[in-house]
Structure 1
């Protein structure tokens, strides 16, 4: 406010927010702070014996406004730089179905190439050939689902398709679209599940969060419930992650809640192991990596108000680092400069990327995009074939950036010409020993890209591929070429 200007109160700010939504959508919205009764108040029933309850809370309206405004980000007019188009889908001027979430890589048909499987905003499941981008599978489910996952659920050495629907259903199929089983939950599912073996039957199980503030584990072979954790004290908005905490050879589950706490629960039993304060609302899922160099995994949390916190595997606080910015995307972790120490990569809402060395907390470099934030996650992979890691991310304004992991310098840029919400996926789809970058736009354009001048590798850095939003089915947000680098040395 200007000097002498009255600071608006909370009620005024809420009214202004509602006016903004009405202006954007044309919808007349009224905020009901208390339940209002229609008809006679004497008998306490109202008209026809029903009491009118508020439809949306103040929190829900604010979340709606934030999500709606994200979709109104202007498309960038930046020019492409050092990017080659390998294939595009659909071909020509035809428009595809709106692609919002990321896809995944796996074998769908019987040729020698890995394929790309993704879902659309209107509930279509589509697979395209990794070699050519031609459509090889399409099925309409009529309702939205999180990104599809390809994982072997029954130990038959072939991937199965797992579809997690927002309404609480999980349905699994073979790649020939033969249904295996269906799980129907009573609560909505809030994020992409975690895929680990919790009952020691050597097959993958599925762990997911619900709107009812629960974490549920179901058997990957049958879909039957294994255990349920219901002691979270707030909503769970982001995907849980898997890491072995108590050294029992079973992956445990780590997740954060909207009221600012990090939980660790035992993978075998679903019992709580520990709970820690992260000092704010989480910006996304946690990341897993070795930040202090002791060869044990550490847990990295980032809050929306810029508090970066790292815990040891037993919940011991390693450090807290306060950042002078705000965040809406999860951190990623990896040794991107090849010095043997893992870095933490973050992107703030102003579009500034930072690389922070985990061991020293020293900021190694920063890069300002001037394009705002991403709705996805920073991906780490070697796409320039220079034996180093690159940092890749999309912006809501429709750009894909590729940065040098050592310096933070921009080496490539692609403009989709449309808004983009998805994390880029990185994999060598056509087996030419050069990884492709695959992502799509909100309007349905899907492209496989390559960095201009990338050389074929003598050995592919398979550990540096980024195959899902959170890098892997454990949702670790971690990628490294360290093991292969030791082998090459």
Structure 2
């Protein structure tokens, strides 16, 4: 006999709902959740840069004229395009670029652009593509973006760059003067930089090819190091991300080569961990997609499965896209309706837009690969009412521009490969004060796919009113039969 029953418990603003399932079921739940309408993305232009593009574009207003430009790192050249796709300049490096450029605005009409190549060369260019300074690293750098930050809050901007010797080096971002260098075990990928413990100084967290995760202070002292997984090549290394949860804790999340996602606190102690369907090579994305005042963690595995987790580790959903990716998804209100969407590209040229419930709102197939791509957004065309989206096209060398319905001024929560143009890999903008009604599993470790034991949800209403709150949970049995329960 297949059945379930519900038991309700009330305590203050919390409403408990317990379900008992007699068979293994797949369950979903919601609280008067509306579904977003399908989004619209309109192709505007395509430009062939005639080079190999294996990293995502960076979009920013380089010259302070109010209109964004596009930066792409070709195989051996840094290329700047106008918002209409016109080539503004290209600068040739000494080796090969396997990176994502970062940007520092230095005045009303200028910016500094940073990138390292495989020949040990770290370069700083101005907004016109002119060389400002260069520095030699101890080894070449691959898949490690430079990070622009102010490590010790002294008002002088710093630049953090790793290389394949295991060096983590910090330079004066304006002059290129080397401040310090420290060593970690293995080849690091892009570091995450931010103030985890809120002491006024940033920490640097890096993962390496030896399966190590290390944290350094603003002055280069080793704070802690942990063995986090198996070994990998730099192209297959998941760079860590930092975020702050609704309790104010600074956390670090990362994926591993042995098919796990792990979240640690500021001291490197594991908070939660889950298996993933495939190893994780791409960096993660962090934001608050449903605006409930609780952070969300997104990752995409090498087998093409998208996972979404709550800040406490609760698995929320997973979607098999049937296409691997090495790039993070973006988080942005793409249609201007107040809800956020998750925008991603697969290696084989599949562009998708998902809403907070994991529903597919948009599906587009390029005729070429889109390698290591995070869709990137900016105000590229003054004649359109919204933001534009830039995507690069792998071996074809093409750059694609789409018009979106995101209003001008929209700020993505996660808007580039490492979250922002400074490539910090950190998101500390959670709006806890705007907390909404939430419905979460009491036991975050419970797998949603095999609920063969009692399942209890905690419904929290931070601002209860006179109107009753209605909650629902649905179950899908293996034979396709759906069952649901509603309570208020």
Inter-CA distance 395–481: structure 2 relative to 1 (3 Å threshold): same
The yes-or-no answer on 1:139 pairing with 2:88 is no
| Correspondence list, 1:61-210, <5 A | 82-90=40-48, 96-109=50-63, 111-121=65-75, 123-130=76-83, 132-141=84-93, 143-145=95-97, 146-152=99-105, 158-190=110-142, 191-198=144-151, 200-210=153-163
Once the two structures are overlaid, the 10-residue window that deviates more, 321-330 or 473-482, is: 473-482
How many residues of Structure 1 are paired with residues of Structure 2 in the alignment? 390
Tell me if the contact between 1:83 and 1:413 (Cα under 8 Å) persists in the aligned partners.
no
TM-score (norm 1): 0.73
- Paired with 1:222 and 1:389, the residues of 2 have a C-alpha distance of 39
Higher strand share: 2
Q: Deviations over 1:133-168 (max 9, x none)?
A: 22222333363222222213x567731122322211
Report deviation, 1:173: 2.0
Report deviation, 1:104: 1.2
TM-score (norm 2): 0.73
Alpha carbon RMSD of aligned pairs, Å? 2.8
SS at match of 2:386: coil
The yes-or-no answer on 1:280 pairing with 2:230 is yes
The yes-or-no answer on 1:252 pairing with 2:203 is yes
Tell me if the contact between 1:332 and 1:477 (Cα under 8 Å) persists in the aligned partners.
no
Tell me if the contact between 2:264 and 2:271 (Cα under 8 Å) persists in the aligned partners.
yes
Report deviation, 1:386: 2.0
- Paired with 2:192 and 2:432, the residues of 1 have a C-alpha distance of 22
| Correspondence list, 1:20-35, <5 A | none
Tell me if the contact between 2:240 and 2:253 (Cα under 8 Å) persists in the aligned partners.
yes
- Paired with 1:391 and 1:203, the residues of 2 have a C-alpha distance of 34
Any stretches of 5+ residues in structure 2 without a counterpart?
1-37, 436-462, 464-488
Higher helix share: 1
- Paired with 2:300 and 2:191, the residues of 1 have a C-alpha distance of 20
Report deviation, 1:315: 2.5
SS at match of 1:464: coil
The yes-or-no answer on 1:352 pairing with 2:301 is no
Counterpart selection for 2:273 from 283, 295, 320 = 320
The yes-or-no answer on 1:271 pairing with 2:221 is yes
Inter-CA distance 139–365: structure 2 relative to 1 (3 Å threshold): same
Q: Deviations over 1:281-310 (max 9, x none)?
A: 47411111234x212321112112222211
Tell me if the contact between 1:383 and 1:434 (Cα under 8 Å) persists in the aligned partners.
no
Tell me if the contact between 1:209 and 1:215 (Cα under 8 Å) persists in the aligned partners.
yes
| Correspondence list, 1:211-230, <5 A | 211-230=164-183
SS at match of 1:462: coil
The yes-or-no answer on 1:428 pairing with 2:382 is no
Any stretches of 5+ residues in structure 1 without a counterpart?
1-79
- Paired with 1:220 and 1:475, the residues of 2 have a C-alpha distance of 14
- Paired with 1:137 and 1:107, the residues of 2 have a C-alpha distance of 15
Report deviation, 1:465: 5.9
- Paired with 1:116 and 1:183, the residues of 2 have a C-alpha distance of 25
Report deviation, 1:482: 4.0
Q: Deviations over 1:183-218 (max 9, x none)?
A: 122311231122212354413211111111111111
Tell me if the contact between 1:427 and 1:466 (Cα under 8 Å) persists in the aligned partners.
no
The yes-or-no answer on 1:303 pairing with 2:256 is yes
